Amino acid sequence: MMIEVRFVCRELNCGNPVAESGGPLLEDGRRRVILGGCYGNESSIRQCDIVRGGPGGCNGRTYHHVTCSESVRLVGGSGLCSGRVEVKSNQSWASVCEADFDRQDAEVVCGELGCGVPAALQGGLYGGGEGQTWDKEFQCKGKESLLLDCDTSDRENNTCLPGNAVGLTCSEPDDVRLVGGGSRCAGGVEWYEQGEWRTVGAEDWDVAAVVCRQLGCGSTVSVLLGDTTRAFRLSCYGSESSLRECSRSYDLSPGLTVICSESVRLVDGAGLCSGRVEVKSNQSWASVCEADFDRQDAEVVCVEFGCGAPAALQGGLYGEGEGQTWDKEFQCKGNESLLLDCDTSDRKNNTCLPGNAVGLTCSEPDDVRLVGGGSRCAGGVEWYDQGEWRIVGADDWNQDNLAAVVCRQLGCGSTVSVLPGNITRGNGASCSGSEPSLRDCYRMYDLLPGLTVICSGNNNR
């Protein structure tokens, strides 16, 4: 919902969203409207899809309270907590010059937008802006609630050179945590809102990916669904920088337990089992050089992520990354549970040439099977989850997409036929059809028809 809320603030010329929450329907009984289908590049909220209250929408029970920042906003960033600093001046927005804005000013803006402490402050970080430039210098003490509560003075130099419009990156807020898992990177997902920690409900790996990213905990290793409870129910694309940017509803949903890899991640791959290998170093992420990483190291990483055996290992396979390079050579034996359990040694050569950041593709895990069809490429779809094999279901409109993913994951060619079976409460999935495995699909916990799939591949394998 936060994408849609951003449009509300923009349409009202009110800066960035600061907070969004749901509440009961007002006593007048009027049906509210839920906005959906905004992707972030629309010029008006009218270009987003509209879903009126009713089944799957508001159901006449809740509406949304929105608080906008009103007089300051961050523009052109990757989320709600980063972008070019702009201030409202005479009903239009003006960029702020780097020379007129320091860390104490940044602390006020980050606090005003509900974000964490400033992480980066630099001219030109998010473009130069196209309009006017703010003509004052801010003199915040760092304790103010709003940027426009700060003192200002006339700018000493009345020019702001191109590239000097200040860009700000705030850290993500400490409003998400994992509890009961033995570390800060494992446990049940909880979200702090309105003075208390609340259970987060969700049914897909995309939400888990955002949680691990927001906490700086690497990639998702596993996701478990708990008891159904009335909770925040979230739906994410997986690319968001924090849960605040995901769509939110208030409904019965299974609680989510997430285990993150904590100190290693795969970046820019096609799914959960591929990407550029990065290791956490001094609270930042560093690429690993191809020369410092061999197949035994790769075997450990693939197991750590719950994937199959290494299928490809090559420098530059998934890009170079933008940060530092890990300065050690891994010496895994191949039977360790975690990459950082492996021995390391100082790198023999202290340089890592461009194109040598190691990319890894693991095979997809053996957590999907077709049963009762006479071969491994035909039968009812089952998914191994929480220690048992469970029937996988899909809505009518999504059955072909799910079948395509199953055939691809099993290496069984393309879909020949799909037949719906009995209605069951199981591990439902909704796929676009392009995912490398069912783990990458959106997960549902509903009454859905099971599926029997026949693939075109070598059925005798």
| Helices (H), ranges, 56-204 | 103-112
Number of H helices, E strands in the chain: 5, 30
Give the model's pLDDT for residue 164.
Answer: 86
> What secondary structure, in 3-state letters, does 22-38 show?
EEECCCCCCCCEEEECC
Are 242 and 214 spatial neighbours (Cβ–Cβ below 8 Å)?
Answer: yes
**CATH code, residues 368-455:** 3.10.250.10
**CATH code, residues 176-260:** 3.10.250.10
Are 417 and 379 spatial neighbours (Cβ–Cβ below 8 Å)?
Answer: no
> Both tokens of residue 402?
């799910």
Give the model's pLDDT for residue 64.
Answer: 55
Residue ranges, the chain, pLDDT below 70:
1-8, 10-67, 69, 157-158, 203-204, 230-231, 349-350, 425-426, 445, 458-461
Give the model's pLDDT for residue 89.
Answer: 77
> Kind of pairing, strands 427-430 and 388-393?
parallel
**CATH code, residues 270-362:** 3.10.250.10
Give the model's pLDDT for residue 370.
Answer: 94
Sort 429 into a burial class: Cβ within 10 Å, 0-12 / 13-18 / 19+: buried
Q: Measured between alpha carbons, how far is 313 from 321 in angstroms, rounded to an integer?
A: 16
Q: What residues contact residue 54 under an 8 Å CB cut-off, 6+ apart?
A: 31, 60
> Kind of pairing, strands 196-201 and 220-235?
parallel
Q: Where are the domains of the chain?
A: 2-68, 89-170, 176-260, 270-362, 368-455
Q: Measuring CA to CA, which residue among 174, 155, 51 is closest to residue 95? A: 155
Q: Whose structure tokens read 């197949």?
A: 295
CA angle 227, 436, 365 (to 5 degrees): 65
| Per-residue CA distances from 238 to 89, 212, 317, 461 (Å) | 36, 10, 21, 34
| Helices (H), ranges, 83-220 | 103-112, 205-214
* Backbone torsions φ then ψ of 408, nearest 5 degrees: -65, -50
* Backbone torsions φ then ψ of 119, nearest 5 degrees: -110, -30
The one-letter amino acid code at 383 reads W
Give the model's pLDDT for residue 26.
Answer: 38
Give the model's pLDDT for residue 56.
Answer: 37
For 3, which DSSP code?
H
* Cα dihedral value 112, 118, 121, 127, nearest 10: -50
> Both tokens of residue 233?
């129910």
Q: Measured between alpha carbons, how far is 17 from 67 in angstroms, rounded to an integer?
A: 6
Q: Measured between alpha carbons, how far is 411 from 368 in angstroms, rounded to an integer?
A: 11
> Both tokens of residue 188?
């049940």
The one-letter amino acid code at 20 reads E
Q: Does the domain at residues 89-170 carry the CATH identifier 3.60.20.30?
A: no
Q: Whose structure tokens read 């799909």?
A: 418
Q: What residues contact residue 182 under an 8 Å CB cut-off, 6+ apart?
A: none
Give the model's pLDDT for residue 18.
Answer: 66
Q: Measuring CA to CA, which residue among 166, 130, 10 is closest to residue 80? A: 10
For 45, which DSSP code?
G
Does 368-455 match 270-362 at the fold level?
yes
